[in-house]
Amino acid sequence: MQDKSKLNVLSIGCGPCTDLFALDCLSNAHEYNFDKLEYIGVDLLPQPWGRLHNEIKDYYTNNPEIKAGFCYDDINNVIPILIDKEFKADLIIMNYLLSDFHKYGGQRSVLDFLNNLVYYINNICPDTAIVINDINLDCSRGGGRDYFDTLYRKLSHSGFRCCQLHFDNSNKERHFEYGNEYPSNDLLFDPRIVNEYYSFDPYESCASAQIIIYKE
Ligand SMILES: C[S@@+](CC[C@H](N)C(=O)[O-])C[C@H]1O[C@@H](n2cnc3c(N)ncnc32)[C@H](O)[C@@H]1O
């Protein structure tokens, strides 16, 4: 992906687009460079996210290198459109989607989604990378981490590899193991900046789990 001059990103359950801000931040820090970025965010909720999405579109108005578009619908209704339009995602992001999807949509709906997603990937973007980040809990405990490996198993037949990771959870005495543990759970951002937002009660360390599914 480092070689891509134009990056197509599909964010499923994009909400306030934290992933887009992360890409922007990495680009500004010259840690990850792309010349152009097309970002499609899909979310069930036009409100409250629509207002923020309009601000994001305004913010990028004078930057022809970054295009952000949004679609408000269930991802299961959007995948056929992505297939029809042959949107080739280089990167698919699901940031805290699966726990939410499982909680409100139920297992059947998530499994349908994963099958639809695998069909989309295999037929339209067989070299995409997928990044999933979510709370480090399985479905029976209010999370959706079981689905990380369900998706990987389905894609492993098409030559995908994976990397599983989790942070040490400083908020609890114990945490669940999932793949390798990062050497540090420090926030990437300067705590002085994070503290400016104390009224939102931000976490002081990382505690989530991730799977990165990719082709070599
Ligand atoms: C916990 S929020 C995470 C938002 C964002 N990714 C972030 O990390 O800040 C989960 C989002 O997934 C969306 N979502 C849940 N099920 C969905 C579905 N079936 N299709 C599209 N979006 C969905 C919700 O509306 C919500 O905005």
* Ligand 1 touching residue 95 (CB < 6 A): yes
d(CA 52, CA 164) in angstroms, rounded, equals 31
Pocket test for ligand 1, best of 10, 39, 44 (most atoms within 8 A of CB): 44
Longest dimension (CA), the chain: 48
Q: Are strands 129-134 and 6-12 parallel, antiparallel or unpaired?
A: unpaired
How is residue 44 annotated by DSSP? S
60 lines ligand 1 (CB under 6 A): no
Pocket test for ligand 1, best of 101, 117, 210 (most atoms within 8 A of CB): 101
How many A from CA of 153 to the centre of ligand 1? 23
43 Cα to the center of ligand 1, angstroms: 6
Instruction: Say how far apart CA 189 and CA 83 lie, in whole Å.
Output: 37
Interval between CA 12 and ligand 1 midpoint (Å): 7
Q: In this predicted structure, what is the pLDDT of residue 87?
A: 97
For residue 100, the CA-to-ligand 1 centroid distance in Å is 6
CA 152 – ligand 1 centroid, Å: 20
Q: What is the pLDDT of residue 3?
A: 64
Q: How far apart are CA 115 and CA 102, in angstroms?
A: 15
> Listing from the earlier edge strand, what are the strands of the sheet with 129-134?
66-72, 36-43, 6-12, 91-95, 129-134, 209-214, 161-166, 180-181
In angstroms, the Cα distances linking 150 to 4, 77, 157 are: 28, 21, 12
**HSE-up (13 A, CA, CB side) for residue 135:** 17
| First CA to last CA distance, the chain | 10
Q: What is the pLDDT of residue 2?
A: 64
C-beta 144 within 6 A of ligand 1: no
Q: Record the tokens describing residue 110, joined without a space.
A: 């998530």
Quote the tokens at residue 87. Answer: 């949107």
Token pair for 99: 């726990």
Which atom belonging to ligand 1 lies closest to the Cα atom of 93?
6
Residues in the chain, total: 216
Return per-residue pLDDT of the chain as tens, 216 residues. 666 788 999 999 999 999 999 998 888 888 887 889 999 999 999 999 999 999 999 998 888 889 999 999 999 999 999 999 999 999 999 999 999 999 999 999 999 999 999 999 999 999 999 999 999 999 999 999 999 999 999 999 999 999 999 999 998 888 899 999 999 999 887 878 888 888 888 888 999 999 999 998
Query: What is the pTM for the complete model shown?
Result: 0.95
CA of 135 to the centre of ligand 1 (A): 13
